[in-house]
Amino acid sequence: MTQITLLTPDDWHLHFRDGDMLQETVPATARLFQRAIVMPNLLPPVTDAKMVNAYRERILAARPQGSSFEPLMTLFLTNDTTKQDIIDAKAAGVVAAKLYPAGATTNSDAAVKALDSLFPIFEKMAEIGMLLLVHGEVTESHIDIFDREAIFIERNLTRIVDVFPSLKVVFEHITTKEAAEFVASTSDNVAATITPQHLLLNRNDLLVGGIRPHNFCLPVLKRNIHQQALRAAVATGSNKFFLGTDSAPHEKHRKESACGCAGCYSAWGALELYAQVFDDLGVIDKLEGFASTHGPDFYGLPRNTSTLTLIKETWTVPSEIILPNGKPIVPFFAGEEVNWKVKG
């Protein structure tokens, strides 16, 4: 197959950041995606309806002229989140609340430290139909970083799903065989997003031949057996798995610093990279479900009605992108050839 037409896809997990960065990130996503679930881990985090509304307006102001792109907003959960916060957020159009274990990723220090105290919040979310989005890792310093997702499933996610069977849960950016198996085996109210980097790469691509900071993300890349399990999961065509890029930009100097920053900025080529994965797996016919229908169906939103066409044609991801502040950012797969391209 050398051409495929899809219903216009959505991105069910990404980071736009804020300020001048929006002038780059919003148009890059609106290029191909009709909607996107916007992560709330700003500084300060988006923790109430007023902050949601203000952030939404900043995103809309950065849309390209004539674009109908729609940001789908989320609320950042803390141990101070109240049931009224959830009610107010739902009234403001928030579709989901995000559970970050404190310290799990960028700008998550204010997040949840005592999970059980949020059970009344989960109950209210289930009652009013707000989804729970989960960054599924434990964060204790003594636990190996490559084991943190599996332990989170055993210790926390299983309990949440069991106690709140009517709560819709998205296990975001899954990275392990254990996560793929958990999602596939549990109820229809549990689904997962999978990123392009976790389908294309494993920890060798982060560490062999020197540290490669632009492949550093959280949850971190795992060993090959986990990458293969994720590829096998999407190849099934199961509606429990759908597109969420976790596109997460950082300026080049921050990624290449002594500490580095977690995140792959994939908006410039994510859909095309997913197409490459599905083609390599011999299941390009299953791309539309993953990219365009499974996500809205799970969220209870209408499918998009417009379409776009991908053609099998080689192009090269830019080596750098210059931000509005004049500083460069390195996109995911920078300088690499991609075999699929959006027509027109």
Average pLDDT, the chain: 95
Q: Name the nearest CA neighbour of 32 among 57, 2, 7.
A: 7
Structure tokens at 24: 């780059």
Domain ranges for the chain: 11-305
What was the pLDDT predicted at 101? 83
Of 184, 221, 191, give the one whose Cα is nearest residue 206. 221
How does residue 344 score in pLDDT terms, banded at 50, 70 and 90?
confident
Which pLDDT does position 65 carry in this prediction? 95
The predicted structure's pLDDT at residue 109: 64
In this structure, what DSSP letter does residue 101 have?
A: B
262 known ligand binder = yes
Read off the pLDDT of residues 240-268 as tens digits, 9 standing for 90 and up: 999 999 999 999 999 999 888 999 999 99
Which sign, positive or negative, has the C-alpha torsion 272, 209, 234, 290? Answer: negative
Confirm whether residue 218 is marked as ligand binding: yes
* Beta strand pairing call for 337-342 and 96-99: unpaired
DSSP one-letter string for 152-169: HIIIIIHHHHHH-TTS-E
Q: What is the mean pLDDT of residues 70-77?
A: 97
Residue 144: pLDDT band by 50, 70, 90 thresholds? very high
| 246 carries a ligand binding annotation | yes
Active site residue 246: yes
Amino acid at 336: E
List pLDDT tens digits, range 37-61: 999 999 999 999 999 999 999 999 9
- Residue 107 predicted with pLDDT over 70: no
Class of domain 11-305: alpha beta
pLDDT in tens, 171-218: 999 999 999 999 999 999 999 999 999 999 999 999 999 999 999 999
Q: Say if residue 56 carries a ligand binding annotation.
A: no
Catalytic residue among 10, 48, 246, 279: 246
Lowest mean pLDDT of 112-121, 155-164, 265-274, name the range.
112-121
Mean pLDDT, residues 285-307:
98
* Residue pLDDT, tens place only, 108-138: 566 567 788 899 999 999 999 999 999 999 9
pLDDT for the residue numbered 260: 85
